[in-house]
Amino acid sequence: MSPAPTRWALVTGASAGIGEAFARELAARRHNLVLTARREDRLSTLAAELTRAHGIAVDTIAADLAEPAAVADLCAELERRGLAIDVLVNNAGYGVPGHYLSQPWQRHADFLQVLVTAPCELAYRLLPGMQQRGYGRIANIASLAGHVPGSAGHTMYAASKAFLIKFSQSLALENRDKGVNVCAVCPGFTWSEFHDVVGSREQVSKMPKWMWMTAAAVAREGVEATERGDIVYVTGRANRFIKGLMKLLPDSFALAMVQRRSKDFRVQEPIQ
């Protein structure tokens, strides 16, 4: 993305994993940053580190995107601080383990608020300014899961990522002549806290090493793809191979294959 230090980038879910990696990648490219997540202590530590390392400005705003008013409050705070966002990385997310009916509805509702509603609302609120300035970058962090058949367990995860992919495609086409690039960045298995949080570390640790990428590599490829104007980008050759294979297989065969392997990467019953 543009190396101009006057550009401000907002990264959600920036306290760890892929979000933190995007923050580091953008900082190395001389973007000023606004970091948001629930864990303010981690944000402050990262902000101090990036400021020292790169000489950029880094603001932090603690927010819980599961709260319906969080995005409006976040954008109001950006306006109060006089920060115009040119780069938006919609990264905040997590998984809900177990089968659909094993969790209370409120947990699913919070999940949809964070992974679907918040990215859409942030884009809605920040896009007008990008259009007016004739420059913008929106990276929606989707997943390889959005390209392959759904599996038992984590029932809405793949569905939410498929939504982000389609949303990004339409938004990109609407804004391609306005200086705004929109990209659905689709990682596969990534070394991060994600699997520890959802309790699937034991399962996924059995997956072959060649299927994994570092968060730093995902962020680097994702930033470059967004800057190039790619609308959908799957990170890593192995993941692109899997996506291509799934497109060639009959739907019924692909679904059966994913279901056979789902126990290796999805928690299918709730963690007690």
- pLDDT tens-digit series, residues 114-134: 999 999 999 999 999 999 999
Structure-model confidence comparison of residues 266 and 217, the more confident one: 217
CB 164 within 8 A of CB 147: no
Question: Do the Cβ atoms of 36 and 62 come closer than 8 Å?
Answer: yes
* Annotated catalytic residue 157: yes
Q: Is the pLDDT of residue 271 over 90?
A: no
Under the banding of pLDDT at 50, 70 and 90, the label for residue 111 is very high
List the structure tokens of 37: 């997540």
What is the pTM for the complete model shown? 0.88
What value does the mean pLDDT of the chain take? 90
- The Cα 54–Cα 73 span in angstroms is 29
Q: Is the pLDDT of residue 2 over 70?
A: no
Mean pLDDT of 52-61: 98
> Catalytic one among 124, 135, 157, 233?
157
Domains parsed from the chain with CATH numbers = 8-264 (3.40.50.720)
Other beta carbons less than 10 A from residue 89's beta carbon: 30
Alpha helices in 150-200 (DSSP H): 157-175, 194-198
25-34 average pLDDT score: 98
Res. 102 pLDDT band, cuts 50 70 90:
very high
